[in-house]
Amino acid sequence: MIIPFNHQSQAHCESGVTSNLLKHYKLPISEPMAFGIGGGLFFAHLPFVKVNGVPGSTYRIYPGQIFANACKRLNIEFQSQRFSSIEKGMNQLKQNLDMEIPTGCQVSVFYLPFLPEVFRFHFNAHNLIVYGYEGTNFHVSDPVMEGVSTIAYDDLAKARFAKGVPEPKGRMYYITKTPSSIPLEDAINKGLKQTVFFMKSPPIPWFGVNAIKFLAKKISEYPKKLEPRKASLYLGNIIRMQEEIGTGGAGFRFLYAAFLQEVYEVTNKQAFKELSEEMTVVGDAWRNFAYAAARVCKSRTTDVVGYGDLSNLLLSIYEQEKKFYDKLDQARKG
Amino acid sequence: MKLNDVPQDKKHFNDKDVELRKVLYVTDKNGQYTQTHSYGWESENIALEQAWGEIFEQEEQVKQEIREGIASPIKYFMIKNRMDIGILASYVGKWQWQVKRHCKASVFKNLSENVLQKYAQVFNMEVSDLRSFKG
């Protein structure tokens, strides 16, 4: 069974999957729109959550949130399931495909043979769409790939039931009912409201804009607290999280700027055009930070000046983003 | 980022690697957002190279530890499969402290066939190859 499916390559897996699934049901929601409505933008730095000994940073919201929030806000009915056994999870997927329902799956990047080896780490929050099967092969549309791919039953099963954090547990999700018209402006407003709230309100230092300031402080301490090799690895991870496939570059900031431009086109409010331009400037600042960080990384020294400069770059990004979300909140209400 | 500034820093990390062009959102000459492709960026390449360099270095180090009779093959294949103690523990259904012990040569040689089978399965290899790995 192979469902006719229009694969489009996108910048980010989950918003890409969301957009491609919606388009399958004739709802013209672009990737930036899905990302923005789903409240995809975020920042967190968690020094106590270590993967391979390196503290975690993220530039986006928790996996699964973008699809679920975008659907809820657009009045689209969907199902999301996890499974206690591999067999059940794979059978249910086949049943979906038999009913011609293209189905999103949360998977680990490590078990996807069609991805370049260099990107295959134990990252469990990747998303793709399964749109058919033939014998023991599944047909998948992975938004970060230019074309469609096939994957063997065993590999897909491993990818869906990978262990570690976050554990996918075979999570699959799909659209069950679409409305005749969608409340686009209302959905946009809810998405904006969530992002402003998540970036500005957390009273703890690890989440939102505060986390940018927190990371700036941490980086300034790296030369004192860590050996050169560790410090350089910590930095490298921040760059990878920010620039890897699926971020749209600059830690999703450009993707968000693209969303704000579409918001301007929908609402005709000039403020959003200006905010889109402002977010582009913020994205460029993040890229500038990555460029400088990569140079420090390469030198493998704990040059205090280098780390101090990086810390200052982040502090200035913190100031920019903080003001940005205030203005975004005003534009949303205005 | 402007369309004209999009980097195309191709880098081959591995001969077998398929090329992957990533999608980026950039502004065109009218300031409008548009989708474009990039073969990569030097800054990201540096970070990726470093992450892989770290894995290769650790692999060599553990091989040496195996030859010296300190570490067990489990430790080597854990790193080769890009796992850490936490991830491996969840795959084999053991506590982290147990996996840590299994990484020692002295504990490894007394492990049951059953336990070895679990590890071999996660590493996608035969028990005999796991047991006979000499570093």
Whether A65 contacts A166, CB under 8 Å: no
Q: B interface mutation test: which of A57, A163, A234 has the most B CBs within 10 A?
A: A163
In angstroms, the CA A207 to CA A217 distance is 14
Residue A220 tokens, joined: 């300034």
Least Cα separation, residue B76 to chain A (angstroms): 14
Q: Which of A48-57, A130-139, B20-29, B31-40 has the lowest mean pLDDT?
A: A48-57
Q: CB of B15 within 8 Å of any CB in chain A?
A: no
Share of chain B above pLDDT 90, in %: 90
In angstroms, the CA B86 to CA A164 distance is 7
Interface of B with A in 40-79 (CB under 8 A): 41-44, 46-48, 50-52, 54
pLDDT tens profile B57-86: 999 999 999 999 999 999 999 999 999 999
Quick check: B51 and A250 CB within 8 A? no
Q: What pLDDT is recorded for position A149?
A: 97
- The pLDDT profile of chain A, 334 residues, written as one tens digit per residue, is 999 999 999 999 999 999 999 999 999 999 999 999 999 999 999 999 887 789 999 999 998 999 999 999 999 999 999 999 999 999 999 999 999 999 999 999 999 999 988 889 999 999 999 999 999 999 999 999 999 999 999 999 999 999 988 899 999 999 999 999 999 999 999 999 999 999 999 999 999 999 999 999 999 999 999 998 899 999 999 999 999 888 888 999 999 999 999 999 999 999 999 999 999 999 999 999 999 999 999 887 667 779 999 999 999 999 999 999 999 999 999 8
Quick check: A163 and B87 CB within 8 A? yes
Q: CB of A239 within 8 Å of any CB in chain B?
A: yes
The domains found in chain B, sorted by start residue, are: 3-40 (no CATH), 44-132 (1.10.260.40)
pLDDT of B17 over the 80 cut: no
Q: CB of A326 within 8 Å of any CB in chain B?
A: no
A–B interface: beta-carbon pairs under 8 A:
122
Quick check: A236 and B50 CB within 8 A? yes
Q: What pLDDT is recorded for position A11?
A: 95
Task: Please tell me which of the candidates A163, A246, A280 has its beta carbon nearest to residue B90.
Answer: A163
pLDDT category at B1 given cuts 50, 70, 90 is very high
Quick check: A232 and B50 CB within 8 A? yes
Q: Name the phi and psi angles at A132, rounded to 5.
A: 180, 165
End-to-end CA distance of chain A: 50
Quick check: A144 and B46 CB within 8 A? no
The whole-angstrom distance between residue A109's C-alpha and the CA centroid of its chain comes to 14
Q: Which residues have a Cβ under 8 Å from the Cβ of B120 and sit 6 or more positions away? A: B126, B127, B129, B130
Kindly provide the ipTM of the predicted complex, given to two decimals: 0.93
Q: Is A307 exposed, middle or buried (0-12, 13-18, 19+ CB in 10 A)?
A: buried
pLDDT of B14 over the 70 cut: no
Q: What pLDDT is recorded for position B16?
A: 62
pTM: 0.95
Q: What pLDDT is recorded for position A89?
A: 98
Of B123, B62, B128, nearest in space to B91 by CA: B123
Residue A117 tokens, joined: 């080896």
Quick check: B14 and A118 CB within 8 A? yes
Token pair 């205005």: residue: A334
Whether B21 contacts A116, CB under 8 Å: no
